[in-house]
Structure 1
């Protein structure tokens, strides 16, 4: 498939109303945007806004309801035709201008600079679909220097986890043991991340921050490669290390958030999981270590390749202090605690 073909297929996929029903029915997602916009009414009042990837136009309508003077609702797919009807149905045709075009192809001589740039651009594991690159184009061309991004911050997290749906199922299939089938089944899974719901009790450790994006400053070059550091995870319970769970959080300028972690209300993004081929038994306090890289796919820019590398915790760099039970971390914690309880006496 050529790059142009994949781009056209991407936009056509958003002409399916089932896709929009899924997103609109996602209460945490839609309510988070509505709440963030309405709580910032004073910032939207009489301002010019651009909504990149407007879809059905709901975020554009929210901005208009919050008092925006002008809203450019930019939508590349044919859904723009229906979005215009939504605008008319809600009596905002004098405020919201639906533009049926890719943001990259807009005429900068026709679009005025905007005060706020709104977009729901997030994909699975935050950056799947590569829509953030289009938002960056809009930001660089149309957002005023003092303007605001909605959302303004994006953070990607990961943690080791248990995956009973992938492992336990095969132990007893209607009274028949199929562990050998499960092993073959899992051997294919590391080739592609899984999107599923991870229960909070199946996390084996607290999440670590894999990537932090300031959306006012992030560049295309920054997005070409995310992650890459070593992360050590002290286990908070006994369990079965069977995969790595990935989720994200975005923050709005008013301080509100849209989280997608296993600890929060489920969204249509769920969580993204790297499945291990076999189970590793772990104990509370034991350390798990890995590296994770996200690289832009060279053929299809809408996709990322995720590289997951398991590490020996003894060779990885631990936090200071680290709560794992490795001797060096136990000694470090004891040293820090000793100096907290008995600070050195300064003499003059």
Structure 2
């Protein structure tokens, strides 16, 4: 499998959060779809939770190469149907009871969770037995930070990632987090533009040099998941270094296209 897929598999905090939510959401006899099955672990967790059939969709041939063997090795080949295709376009042969799958990138700028879920919602049931969407929503927050940006004696003004297992990458916050986006995955989303003009109050005196984007996932069962080793880790956006005082209000503009990639990102601080 690919490196990113393997990292998601071994991220225990991420995988166990999904396992708990799947166990609380999938019911015996359900038909489930797993969007971008990757290692296949979420599809197998759904089958173990009682699903009679799981459509496991995957586009990456490197992952496809191992999935049949993985499902057979776990005795689940009779309940998991592997589909090689683009989850944003593929058709399913029937309606589903549960939509699972994780294609999350911080702030939903990259990866395709929204477009994939939009497509899968075409196969959702309505009314009394409405389809349950495992990832029901995602909130994105922004705060001002002092961001370590020196490596090997050199300064790097770069977009970077704050991995939870590396203390040296932790930034110091200089403001409260402000909500900039709240996406509901239980409905089709057509407006993918995020545009915010914020007034952010500084909470301590010091030096700032970055904006931090954080995400929080909401599951169908009401549980939540923030950042972990391989999941939705904070993204630091560099800004010109400046001294700030407590109580000072900075004007922050930020905009991007959900699922549009980093090339769509624009931001400024005044």
- Is this a same-fold pair by TM over 0.5? yes
Q: Is 1:129 the counterpart of 2:100 in the alignment?
A: no
For residues 117 and 4 of structure 2, the distance between their equivalents in structure 1, rounded to whole angstroms, comes to: 20
| TM-score normalised by the chain length of structure 2 | 0.88
**One of 169, 189, 196 as aligned partner of 2:162:** 196
Equivalent pairs counted in the alignment come to: 261
Q: For residues 81 and 70 of structure 1, what CA distance do their matches in structure 2 show?
A: 21
Query: Tell me, which stretches of 5 or more residues in structure 1 are unaligned?
Result: 1-14, 174-180, 312-348
Alignment of 1:88-107 (within 5 A): 88-107=72-91
Gaps of 5+ in 2: 164-168
Distance 1:207 1:107, change over 3 A: closer
Shift of 1:112: 0.9
1:76-115 deviation digits (Å, cap 9, x = unpaired) = 122223112111111111211111122355344xx11001
The whole-number CA distance in structure 1 between the counterparts of 2:88 and 2:257 is 22
Is the 1:160–1:288 contact (alpha carbons within 8 Å) kept by the matching residues of 2?
A: no
CA distance in 1 between counterparts of 2:55 and 2:95 reads: 11
Structure 1: how far apart are the matches of 2:262 and 2:249? 31
Higher percent of residues as strand: 2
- What is the distance in 2 between the residues matched to 1:266 and 1:55? 17
Is residue 2:175 matched to residue 1:205? yes
TM-score (norm 1): 0.69
The Cα of 1:37 is off from its aligned counterpart by 1.0
What corresponds to 1:33 in structure 2?
Answer: 18
Higher relative contact order (CA 8 A, sep 6+): 2
The correspondence for 2:143, drawn from 118, 139, 159, is 159
Distance 1:209 1:296, change over 3 A: closer
CA offset at residue 125 of structure 1?
3.2
Report deviation, 1:304. 4.8
Larger radius of gyration: 1
Which position in structure 1 is the counterpart of 2:268? Answer: 309
User: In the aligned structure 2, how far is the partner of 1:304 from the partner of 1:121?
Assistant: 19
Distance between the aligned counterparts of 1:283 and 1:302, measured in 2?
34
For residues 302 and 242 of structure 1, do their structure 2 counterparts lie closer, same or farther at Cα, with a shift above 3 Å needed? Answer: closer
Shift of 1:287: 2.0
